[in-house]
Each structure stands twice: as C-alpha cells, then as structure tokens.
Amino acid sequence: MKRFWLMFCGLLLVVSVSAQTVDSVATAPDTVVRQPWAHKLSRQEMIPKFTATVLGRYEYNTQQNTHHFELRHTRIGVSGDLHSMFSYMALVDLSYGGKFSPVAIFAKFKPVKGLSFLIGYDKMPFSNENLLSPWQYYFSDKSFLTQRLTAWSDVGAVVEYAWDQTVPFSIKAGVFNSGGFSKQMQFQKSLNYVARGAFRFFKGFELTLNYAAVKYETIRMHNFDVGMMYDIGGLHLDAEYIYKAYSDKSLQPTHAFEGFACYTFRIGKPWLDDISLALRYDAITANCNGMLSDSGDYEWSDYRQRITAGFTMYFISRPVRTGIRLNYEKFFVHAGSPYKDDRLILELIVHY
C-alpha cells in the first residue's frame, strides 16, 4: 500500500511539472493573457462567498396513515480565496434531521494549474450522488447506495489532478481518519483510503471509477464503484453500482445499485423556470456497517429495494434555486423488513 501511494504521488508530480512547462509557453499576441501564476489577489477577489440551503418537507406514510414534518437541511457556509494558490471552505448543517453536523471545513493548496492538495474535514471522494449538495439532488431521499454505503466524512487529506484538454479527467486520492470529527485528536493504527477517477470521453457523458478501503472497528471493507452519467438535451441518465467485500471472508459481499432518468422541460417564464420528471430504481442486499453491537456481533441491515417517482417545479434554477418537489416511494416488501411502508414526500427547496 505504501509503495502504491509513493508511486501515485510521484506520477502526479511528474504530470504537474509537465503541465507547468506547457503553461509557460508564450501566448499569441491576440490571446487574452491570464493573471500570472501565484499573483496577489485584489480585495475584491478575496471577498468571501456565502451560501445557504433550506430543505423542509412533509412526509405521509400511506400504509399506516401517519405523517410528520421535518427540517431536512439548514446548511450555511462560507468559502473564498486568499491567494491564487490558497482557498478555504466552511460548511455546516445547523439541522440535519434535527442534529447539528459539520459538512466540510478545509483549506486547499493549488501549487500549479490542475493540481491541488486539501487538508481538513470533508466527504471522502467516492461515488457520484454522495458528492452532490442537497440542493442538487434529483430526489428528496438519497438512494440506498448512498445512505448505507458511501456516507463517509472525516478529517483527512486529498490530492487531485484535473486535466481539461482532449479527454477531460480528474483523479483524486485521499487518506482519512476513521474516528469521526470528534475524535480527530486521537492517534489511530488504521486509516481509511480512497481513490476516484472521472473521465469525460465525449460531450455529456462521464464515467467514474471509485475505490475505498474503510475500517471502523475490527473489519476492513473494500468498496468498488462504477458510475455512468449521460446528458442529452433535457434528459439526464444516471446509473451506479457498488460491490463491497469484507476482510472477513465468512461474510457475504454486499451489492448495491441505483439507476434513474430525469427529464427537464424548460419553461423560461418569470414565474416558472423549468419542470422535471424523474423515475428511479434502487436496491441493496444485506449490508454490514463494520460496527459491533453490544452483544459483540456485527450490525447488519436487511435487503431492500424501491421505486421512486418524482415531480419538481423550479421557480428559479439559476444562479440560485427555489422549488417544490413531490416524490412517491414504493417499497418492495421482504420478510422481516421494517422498510415496507410507502411514502409521499412534499419538499420545499431554497438555495442561495
């Protein structure tokens, strides 16, 4: 593993030096010359950028005839640049399902074009839906794949190299603690590792390959993920699959899949920007979270699957977002599963 990381970092440094050499080539006289590398920012460029997201919802359980209101997200944040090579972000959820939760707090260093280093608290760069912000979701609830497998955040470091020429791509690799935000001061014998590659082979299409080795107590879990996204006109197609293996060979692997289609009708009126229709299928087999119960056994969640139909009206979709979303979730019933009640969800979306 150490040899792998040394080779990977060496490759990035070689590529970054090459990129820096290309950038130093003289530009044509009629080309607009960018600000010089490592230039000092003006006061205007250093002004912080603020963001706020509020998602409130009403849920109705169609089987039990019960309902409740929920403040799903109240997220606020600030980000900015203090130098052409240094930036920062602080993002927190004041209420995520009723709890205060840090989302992303980090500093980033960009020594050359395309190359960046990040240290702080952030999501592990793994999976597609997992990396979206709440206001970018296509459905009110995240897929089982994201809820049960990829919701990893911790304090760590990430190196990224992005290339925007012939075949644009980005490669990320990171090392993270495994104790959570509150235990970052504790020394740990094992860390979590992640690698992600995103490749845009042609317009509108993106292929992502992800790997994560995660260990929280006594068992290490190896997650392999492949995702594909394709945009053509107003149609967005998205599919993702995860294979999860355990270091304890007696445990059966976990499989998770989600696939959906979303079509957006552009309205372009002052009172309504666009309307989206979406349909999703997602499923996950029995899954171990790597944690031990009080009895000393591993905790497992059962096999589940569902179909979700969604309708969203965006009154403003750019540059801020305001909208109303209506989702219906149909669960497939399995023996012994507590997740069998269909739900109707009405959600208000406000993002700045």
Q: Model confidence over 173-212: pLDDT tens digits?
A: 999 998 888 888 888 888 999 999 999 999 999 999 999 9
- Rounded Cα gap, residues 286 and 304, in angstroms: 8
pLDDT score of 231: 97
Residue 261 lies in a domain: yes
- Rounded Cα gap, residues 352 and 348, in angstroms: 14
Side-chain half-sphere CA neighbours of 316 within 13 A: 9
pLDDT score of 183: 82
Q: What is the mean pLDDT of residues 73-79?
A: 94
Residues of the chain above pLDDT 90, percent = 64
Token duo for residue 242:
């995860």
Q: How far is CA 137 from the centre of its chain?
A: 10
Q: How far is CA 186 from the centre of its chain?
A: 26
More confident residue, 3 or 277: 277
Residue 77 lies in a domain: no
The rounded mean pLDDT for the chain is 86
| Residue that is written with structure tokens 């959906």 in the block | 260
ω into residue 338 within 30 of 0, thus cis? no
Residues 70 and 345: beta-carbon distance below 8 Å:
no
Can you give the CATH number for the domain in which 237 is found? 2.40.160.10
Q: What are phi and psi of 76, to 5 degrees?
A: -130, 155
C-beta neighbour count of 43 within 10 angstroms: 6
Contacts of residue 105, defined as CB under 8 A and 6 or more positions apart, other chains included, come to 89, 90, 91, 92, 120, 121, 122
On the question of pLDDT at 104 being above 60, the answer is yes
pLDDT score of 27: 33
Q: What is the DSSP letter of 332?
A: P
Residue 346 lies in a domain: yes
pLDDT score of 66: 92
Q: What are phi and psi of 165, to 5 degrees?
A: -90, -150
Q: Nearest Cα to 130, choosing from 165, 169, 172? A: 172
- Find the range with the poorest average confidence among 93-97, 151-155, 240-244, 291-295: 291-295
The pTM (predicted TM-score) of the whole model is 0.84
Burial 108-130 (b: 16+ CB within 10 A, else e): bebebbbbbebebbbbbbbbbbb
pLDDT score of 308: 97
Residue 59 lies in a domain: no
More confident residue, 236 or 35: 236
What HEC string does 18-36 produce? HHHHHHCCCCCCCCCCCCC
pLDDT score of 302: 86
On the question of pLDDT at 33 being above 60, the answer is no
Counted domains in the chain: 1
**Residues recorded for the chain:** 352
Question: To the nearest 5 percent, what fractions of the chain are helix, strand and coil?
Answer: 10, 60, 30
Q: What is the mean pLDDT of residues 311-316?
A: 96
Residue 335 lies in a domain: yes
Residues 272 and 266: beta-carbon distance below 8 Å:
no
Residue 15 lies in a domain: no
- Rounded Cα gap, residues 165 and 22, in angstroms: 12
Band of residue 91 on the pLDDT scale cut at 50, 70, 90:
very high
Residue 56 lies in a domain: no
Residue 238 lies in a domain: yes
On the question of pLDDT at 7 being above 50, the answer is no
Residues 225 and 113: beta-carbon distance below 8 Å:
no
pLDDT score of 19: 38
On the question of pLDDT at 58 being above 60, the answer is yes
Provide the domain limits for residue 247: 116-351
Q: What is the DSSP letter of 42?
A: P
Residue 169 in 3-state DSSP? strand
